[in-house]
Amino acid sequence: MTGKLHPTVQSKKKPMKKICILIGVVTLIFSCKNEKQTITEEKTVSPISEISDKQPVIAILGTFHFANTSDYSAIVLEDGFSPKRQKEMKEIVAQLAMYRPTKILVEREPSYTDTLNLQFSKYLNNEFELPINELYQIGFRLAKKLGHKKLYGIDKHMNLGDEDLVAHLNKHGLMDSFSTTIKNASTYGKKHTAYLKEHSIGKTLITINTKEGEDFNRNLYLDHILTSSELENAPSITYVTNWYKRNIHIKHNIDRITEKKDRILVIIGAGHSAILNDFYRNSNVIQYAEITDYLTDE
């Protein structure tokens, strides 16, 4: 996910790690350093030709970070470059190709789109090896398979108000109670890490994109961050408001890219997808497709 509490948090008793709970469950990381590189790819297939002429369609894949992070709720992939995991990633790509997306949108800001597509062009010419990052491992492979010429960045970076929230919690002696939220996030990450060790990446993505997974990511903000202080104008209100504002900006970026005959695929952290799914499920202008209709657990 990508809304984090970055500042170092301290209670009166002992220092705490950075509270990176809001995004760590399942999103793309913007700076994935020390990423290794990979492998050759299968040939491309013909571009999509048959598209609905009624309304555009959107499907949203909520992900965890293939490149491991230090977030409390991070799901850890230990062996992303192993033959087994690489095979699983290619299987996910084959499944998503059945959705027939005409545009692939990823968790990068629009200003990064030119750099992204320079990388993609090099990848098509076998001059760019894919880092362990779902944007590349899934997004680039799928775009190549479908004969796409580009991908699209739709993220929006914002200061959510981390420092104000942390200062408020410390000032009012609320950090110890807030640690329960951190613990819940950590438990969620560990639970899914254990699941991933025994199951495929595809099966893990299915569990993340269930109602249970969406509810966790949404309610982390609404049931826990928002209620971390009872004061009328607490920074927690601003924090959660900014988180929703950020996702509204992302929705706007999606909408302005979407054309009448498009089948849009969004690849984004599950902290975002939980909210974006709410936005699009009841839309009157864009048809919504459940991503789990295209992911199989076989």
Alpha-carbon distances of 38 from 64, 65, 129, rounded to whole Å: 19, 17, 5
pLDDT value at position 52? 52
Q: What pairing do the DSSP bridges indicate for beta strands 57-63 and 287-288? A: parallel
- Does the reported pTM lie above 0.75? yes
Tokens for 233, please give them. Answer: 């104008």
φ, ψ dihedrals at 281, nearest 5°: -60, -35
- Give the strand order in the sheet containing 263-269: 152-153, 103-106, 263-269, 57-63, 287-288
Q: Residue 4: pLDDT above 90? A: no
Q: Residue 143: pLDDT above 50? A: yes
pLDDT value at position 296? 87
pLDDT value at position 53? 66
pLDDT value at position 293? 95
pLDDT value at position 37? 38
Q: Which residue has the higher pLDDT, 35 or 241?
A: 241
Q: How far apart are CA 188 and CA 200, in angstroms?
A: 18
Q: Which residue has the higher pLDDT, 13 or 129?
A: 129
State mean pLDDT over 34-46: 39
- Going from N- to C-terminal start, the domains of the chain cover 1-298
- Contact yes or no for 181/225 (Cβ under 8 A): yes
Burial (Cβ within 10 Å: 0-12, 13-18, ≥19) of residue 218: middle
pLDDT value at position 182? 87
Is residue 222 very low, low, confident or very high in pLDDT (cuts 50, 70, 90)?
very high
Q: Residue 32: pLDDT above 90? A: no
In which region does residue 59 sit, left (phi positive, over 0), alpha (psi from -120 to 50) or beta (all else)? beta
- Other residues' Cβ atoms within 10 Å of the Cβ of residue 79: 12
pLDDT value at position 73? 74
> Which sign does the torsion angle of CA 206, 208, 213, 217 carry?
negative
Please, which residues have CB within 8 angstroms of residue 49's CB and are 6 or more apart in sequence? none
Q: How far apart are CA 81 and CA 18, in angstroms?
A: 28
Residue 42 DSSP code:
P
Q: Residue 30: pLDDT above 90? A: no
pLDDT value at position 298? 65
pLDDT value at position 40? 38
State mean pLDDT over 44-71: 73
Alpha-carbon distances of 54 from 26, 260, 272, 285, rounded to whole Å: 33, 7, 27, 10
The SS3 assignment for 202 reads helix
State mean pLDDT over 225-251: 96
Is residue 31 very low, low, confident or very high in pLDDT (cuts 50, 70, 90)?
very low
249-289 pLDDT, tens digit per residue, is 999 999 999 999 999 999 999 999 999 999 999 899 999 99
89-114 pLDDT, tens digit per residue, is 999 999 999 999 999 999 999 999 99
pLDDT value at position 34? 36
161-184 pLDDT, tens digit per residue, is 999 999 999 999 999 989 999 899
Q: How far apart are CA 296 and CA 248, in angstroms?
A: 30
Give the burial string for 283-298 (b: 16+ CB within 10 Å, else e).
eeebbebebbebbeee
Least confidently predicted of 15-29, 48-62, 115-129, 167-181:
15-29
Q: What is the mean pLDDT of the chain?
A: 85
Among residues 74, 60, 90, the alpha carbon closest in space to that of 182 is found at 74
pLDDT value at position 101? 97
